[in-house]
């Protein structure tokens, strides 16, 4: 069973449908008791960092995730990936979950937000097993991760080369939307579900 963490943000059902297409059972819940029974957790997200973190904290899910990630693999998607870092400078300065050392900062060039398909390169970790270098994934974001290379599981170019996937311990995150990225996205979700 895969637990999709519900903290009041949208885009949960599309992640659940992608997992169901892979033959996986997935529940959407913000209830710790229900999530306790899940072997993997996914933290999706759309919207602003500060509001999202406030919702996580209001439900006690920030503390819950910090405890669960000690023994359980977690995948953050889009805003969910950004939550994995120390802080964000979106409309102020807000603390994240601090699984990955680094910050979330606004793009300073190009059309913002970046919307559409872009290549993902420098692939590392079993998350990208069987996915070719330079594969296209679907992005929608105006802010990017800034962290050391040791945390970068993949990178993407949008006027600057930035980490489009991060990892530290059991925490993994992707800035793009695998649930909206066709076969490559499904392969990534399958890899996450099957990682030892």
Catalytic residues, by residue number, are 78, 177, 179
Beta-ladder partners of 144: 105
44, 6 in Cβ contact below 8 A? Answer: no
Task: Based on DSSP, count helices (H) and strands (E) in the chain, helices before strands.
Answer: 6, 13
Is the N-terminal amide bond of 113 cis, ω within 30° of 0? yes
């Amino acid at each position: 069973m895969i637990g999709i963490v519900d903290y009041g943000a949208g885009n949960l059902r599309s992640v659940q449908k992608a997992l169901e297409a892979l033959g996986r059972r997935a529940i959407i819940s913000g209830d710790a008791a229900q999530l306790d029974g899940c072997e993997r957790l996914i933290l999706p997200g759309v919207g602003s960092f500060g509001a999202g973190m406030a919702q996580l904290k209001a439900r006690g899910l920030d503390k819950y995730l910090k405890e669960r990630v000690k023994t359980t693999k977690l995948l953050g998607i889009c805003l969910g990936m950004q939550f994995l870092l120390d802080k964000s400078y979106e409309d102020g300065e807000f603390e994240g979950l601090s699984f990955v050392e680094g910050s979330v900062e606004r793009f300073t060039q190009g059309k913002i937000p970046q919307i559409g398909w872009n290549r993902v390169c420098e692939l590392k970790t079993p998350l990208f097993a069987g996915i070719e270098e330079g594969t296209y994934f679907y992005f929608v974001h105006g802010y990017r991760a800034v962290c050391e290379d040791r945390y970068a599981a993949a990178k993407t170019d949008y006027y600057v080369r930035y980490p489009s996937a991060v990892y530290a311990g059991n925490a993994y995150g992707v800035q793009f939307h695998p649930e909206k990225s066709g076969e490559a996205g499904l392969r990534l979700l399958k890899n996450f579900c099957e990682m030892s």
